Amino acid sequence: MSQQHIVVVGNGMVGHRFIDSLLQSGDPSDYRITTFTEEPRLAYDRVKLSSYFCGSTAADLALADAGDYRQKGVDFVLNDKVVAIDTAGKRALTAGGCSRPYHKLVLATGSYPFVPPIAGSDRAHCLVYRTIEDLQAITRCAADSTVGVVVGGGLLGLEAANALRSLGLETHVVEFAPQLMAVQLDEGGGALLRLKIEALGVKVHTEKNSCDIVDGEHRRQRINFTDGTYLETDMIVFSAGIRPRDELARAAGLAIGERGGIVIDDHCQTSVDDIYAIGECALWNGRIYGLVAPGYQMAKVAAGHIAGGGEAFGGADMSTKLKLLGVDVASVGDAQGRTPGAKSYTYLNDVEQIYKRLVVSARGDRLLGAVLVGDTAAYGSLLQWVLNDTPLPVNPESLILPAGDSAAAPGVEALPDAAQICSCFAVSKADICSAVQSGCRDMAALKAETCAATGCGGCAALAGQILDSELTRLGVAVNRDICEHFAYTRRELADIVRVKKFTTFGELLDHCGRGLGCDICKPAVASMLASYRNEYILKDAHLGLQDTNDVFLANMQKDGTYSVVPRVPGGEITPEKLIVLGQVAKQYRLYTKITGGQRVDLFGAELHQLPAIWRRLIDAGFETGHAYGKAMRTVKSCVGSSWCRYGVQDSVAMAIAIEERYKGLRAPHKIKMAVSGCTRECAEAQSKDVGVIATEKGWNLYVCGNGGMRPRHADLFASDLDDDTLIRYIDRFFMFYIRTADRLQRTATWLQNLQGGLDYLREVVIADKLGVCAELEAEMAHIVGSYQCEWKTTLQDPDKLKRFRQFINADGGDDNLVFVEERGQRRPATRRERLQAVAVE
């Protein structure tokens, strides 16, 4: 077959998706695709447009990629607009004078923002909200504005209001209807949404009909309403709905709906042969779909039809769940209860500001729709009830009542097997259940097997519930054993080690384990032994338990070399020591980088070089930094009252004291700390496992914060403590964490899983509810008293040093290592660079 020429008019989200679908539906060489866009860039994510104001760039929003298009043979023309279609000669003509023949032409022209036809709406500083260029114009205009008005209180209007608010403007929303989001929400939901948005400082004006815009007295503009009231503002953003871009189709003689929109059939074909229309410009069954998901469905249907397939478009569900101005909002099915005879259940919680409403059929046996504001957790399951038309349980209200009481809500068991759980990858409940039956035991396995929850992630909670329910149904007990060698949790093992006073892994394995142990239980037990006994970790009995980092007291990198991190207590370092670090790095050609914990990391040391490097560092007064261990790492500090104009306490001295006290403490996971000298918090103590912030009267103690993948602000644990009390609480806190946490559980997750939470932790650590504080303090005293610099000890033991060689029977290093220079330093060669290096040789 010869190549078919396909012209796609418009490269928005739907046009782009069409191209993707067509290329995937068959042999890409069957098609010669050309796409035109009047915008200066290829398709980007308009749904996430508001994230542009939270730091996203145009590049972050991009969906299509020029290089990718070129590689796939897709021609694209930016900044040019198709202005005419010669339907007889089958050519598309552009404003720029380009004429392109087509076999099939796809209109994906989208929509434009509706601007009410009122006098003055074309004045300067009156803008719309649809493209990245619009956002840039809004940003420019906001720069010299104080007050902004958004005309339109629907979904897009509230997005625009969010934008103005993040640009620092006094923000007003003007809506014609009596409530916000009149299309998606009912009156009650709209009212609560308004309450929440007003609490954020956005002023909402409903039932306002704008009549004209004139010069303001105090501000640039004055917008007058028909009821005689007005608002003075510097800028206005119109976001009062969308209209289909159908002018091109209209001019070409295609059938157009009475109120606009290009008429299409179930295959997205227009009234003229070989011309399709998809997305917001298309009118199907008298209806325009203003959401992206139906547009994507149309893209798929049109691509399938061109490729010879027969899938049809049969309308789309307009249910939606989103976050507007930080408020969770969801609308399912017939949210307003317009179905004749419909009844409803309503749950209103003024205290927590939650509104939920179920709309059920006249007979009360089917769910027709729902509105959720403030808590949308039930969205996924409610949508399933509606889409699957499943008979409702006897007490439908349980679907929206808070969980936790004895009357358990009908669970996911009630969902039919066909229920689509993950719409991104079309995974049904039956797919999930059969994956569980064939061996998936956790979310990770389930995701790998079915792809569920790997797209937008919106179904993760529901998929997890189905996983749990299916596991329960199959009688699979959720196994919390640490590994196959011990039928105990980490906490239980820690209790056994402590109570039985075991001193080695061998004793514990003989007592209650089986097999040889493994890379899970061995380091965990090594950590417990270290936390309670604090023996030299390279003792023969402990050596085989340690991860390579602990065995060689350094951090293994991707090529098998190590990085070296000496301790720099509190981040304070003398010029002399800094020079030594530089000299060592230079001598061994180590890549040098400053860490986030105010230390210096030296990379690329080979195993056999470590002792010589450390001899040099120890001679210069350094100690090991325990960067290799699940141990206390660093205590970051700001410069504090000794230099800073604002500091109220000597944070550096406190940080050094704390770091010296807890250095070498081993725990279920690494521990990070910080001390700030005043409330400005320059040391970022609230992101640490233990954070200390100076006050006029002493120290505030924060616990269980975390940076990294799941950031968590630390909780204020106690206020205005003196030095001794502060240390006492930290002692107790650490030892209680070490006793009770799971393997590799940071303090943040530990607290989240601790029954009774922060209050319970206070009862244990401050009020000594369990009567263990003396014991915890004694344990910590033992750790502090038995500290040794592991590198110093190792350097004094010729037997131990023998292990620090690449080969037991030869000198020298691993000649498999290859480095390349980058920005004046060495780094490991990539696989490709290695191959090139070999080829050159």
Binds another protein by CB under 8 A, chosen from 831, 832, 839, 840: 831
Q: Which stretch binds another protein (CB under 8 A): 128-136, 296-304, 519-527, 701-709?
A: 519-527
User: Judged by CB under 8 A, does residue 246 bind another protein?
Assistant: no
Task: Write down the residue that tokens 């009360």 correspond to.
Answer: 364
Measure the CA–CA gap between 593 and 134, rounded to whole angstroms. 42
Q: Which stretch binds another protein (CB under 8 A): 177-185, 236-244, 694-702, 809-817?
A: 809-817
User: Judged by CB under 8 A, does residue 820 bind another protein?
Assistant: no
How far apart are CB 487 and another protein at their closest, in Å? Answer: 15
In terms of CB distance, is 285 or 548 closer to another protein? Answer: 548
In 3D space, the residue among 227, 382, 255, 248 whose CA is nearest the CA of residue 320 turns out to be 382
Binds another protein by CB under 8 A, chosen from 24, 99, 472, 548: 548
How far apart are CB 506 and another protein at their closest, in Å? Answer: 7
CB 29 within 8 A of CB 37: no
User: Judged by CB under 8 A, does residue 515 bind another protein?
Assistant: yes
How far apart are CB 359 and another protein at their closest, in Å? Answer: 50
Q: Which stretch binds another protein (CB under 8 A): 345-353, 417-425, 454-462, 536-544?
A: 536-544
How far apart are CB 809 and another protein at their closest, in Å? Answer: 4
User: Judged by CB under 8 A, does residue 839 bind another protein?
Assistant: no
Measure the CA–CA gap between 343 and 360, rounded to whole angstroms. 5
In 3D space, the residue among 651, 648, 621 whose CA is nearest the CA of residue 636 turns out to be 651
User: Judged by CB under 8 A, does residue 315 bind another protein?
Assistant: no
Angle among Cα 240, 246, 249 to the nearest 5 degrees reads 180
In terms of CB distance, is 536 or 760 closer to another protein? Answer: 536
Distance in Å from the first CA to the final CA of the chain = 49
**Backbone angles phi and psi of 47, in degrees to 5:** -65, -35
How far apart are CB 559 and another protein at their closest, in Å? Answer: 5
How far apart are CB 810 and another protein at their closest, in Å? Answer: 3
Q: For 815, which DSSP code?
A: T
User: Judged by CB under 8 A, does residue 523 bind another protein?
Assistant: yes
In terms of CB distance, is 65 or 519 closer to another protein? Answer: 519
Q: Which two tokens stand for residue 119?
A: 């006098």
Considering only residues 730 to 769 of the shown chain, the ones binding another protein according to CB under 8 A are: none
Considering only residues 471 to 510 of the shown chain, the ones binding another protein according to CB under 8 A are: 484-485, 506
Bridge partner list, 333: 369
Q: Which stretch binds another protein (CB under 8 A): 61-69, 236-244, 517-525, 630-638?
A: 517-525
In terms of CB distance, is 336 or 794 closer to another protein? Answer: 794
User: Judged by CB under 8 A, does residue 560 bind another protein?
Assistant: yes
In terms of CB distance, is 294 or 517 closer to another protein? Answer: 517
User: Judged by CB under 8 A, does residue 522 bind another protein?
Assistant: yes
Q: Which stretch binds another protein (CB under 8 A): 65-73, 540-548, 575-583, 781-789?
A: 540-548
User: Judged by CB under 8 A, does residue 626 bind another protein?
Assistant: no
State the angle between helix axes of 460-473 and 429-437 in degrees (0 to 180), rounded to the nearest 10: 50
What would the DSSP string read from start to end of 600-661?
EEEEEE-GGGHHHHHHHHHHTT--B--TTSSBEEEEEE--GGGT-SS--S-HHHHHHHHHHH
Q: State whether the Cα torsion 187-190-196-198 is positive or negative.
A: negative
User: Judged by CB under 8 A, does residue 559 bind another protein?
Assistant: yes
In terms of CB distance, is 559 or 623 closer to another protein? Answer: 559
In terms of CB distance, is 3 or 548 closer to another protein? Answer: 548
How far apart are CB 834 and another protein at their closest, in Å? Answer: 8
Binds another protein by CB under 8 A, chosen from 304, 517, 566, 647: 517
Binds another protein by CB under 8 A, chosen from 556, 573, 716, 772: 556
CB 231 within 8 A of CB 205: yes
In terms of CB distance, is 473 or 511 closer to another protein? Answer: 511
Q: Is 515 in a helix, a strand, or coil?
A: coil
Q: Which stretch binds another protein (CB under 8 A): 150-158, 411-419, 787-795, 802-810?
A: 802-810
Measure the CA–CA gap between 524 and 505, rounded to whole angstroms. 10
User: Judged by CB under 8 A, does residue 819 bind another protein?
Assistant: no
Angle among Cα 349, 351, 356 to the nearest 5 degrees reads 20
Measure the CA–CA gap between 207 and 731, rounded to whole angstroms. 61
Site size toward another protein (CB under 8 A) is 36
Q: What string marks each residue from 660 to 699 as x (binds another protein by CB under 8 A) or -? A: ----------------------------------------
How far apart are CB 481 and another protein at their closest, in Å? Answer: 14
User: Judged by CB under 8 A, does residue 513 bind another protein?
Assistant: no
Task: Write down the residue that tokens 């529901």 correspond to.
Answer: 462
Buried b (16+ CB within 10 A) or exposed e, 770-798: eebbeebeebbeebbeeeebbbeebbeee
How far apart are CB 818 and another protein at their closest, in Å? Answer: 9
Q: Which stretch binds another protein (CB under 8 A): 114-122, 125-133, 412-420, 807-815?
A: 807-815
In terms of CB distance, is 358 or 607 closer to another protein? Answer: 607
User: Judged by CB under 8 A, does residue 444 bind another protein?
Assistant: no
Binds another protein by CB under 8 A, chosen from 377, 487, 518, 644: 518
Bridge partner list, 170: 147
- Residue 125: partners with Cβ closer than 8 Å, 6 or more residues away: 141, 145, 220, 221, 234, 235, 236
User: Judged by CB under 8 A, does residue 832 bind another protein?
Assistant: no
- Residue 629: partners with Cβ closer than 8 Å, 6 or more residues away: 549, 550, 666, 670
How far apart are CB 552 and another protein at their closest, in Å? Answer: 7
- Helix intervals (H) in 72-154: 132-143
User: Judged by CB under 8 A, does residue 63 bind another protein?
Assistant: no
Q: Which two tokens stand for residue 412?
A: 């996911």
In terms of CB distance, is 175 or 550 closer to another protein? Answer: 550
In terms of CB distance, is 124 or 838 closer to another protein? Answer: 838
> Which element (helix H / strand E) includes 494?
helix 490-500
> Which element (helix H / strand E) includes 594?
strand 591-594
Separation in Å, CA 706 to CA 133, 555, 671, 743: 38, 22, 10, 17
Measure the CA–CA gap between 187 and 192, rounded to whole angstroms. 9
User: Judged by CB under 8 A, does residue 833 bind another protein?
Assistant: no
CB 243 within 8 A of CB 237: no
Binding site for another protein (CB under 8 A): 484-485, 506, 515-519, 522-523, 540, 543-549, 551-552, 556, 558-560, 802-803, 806-810, 814-816, 831, 834
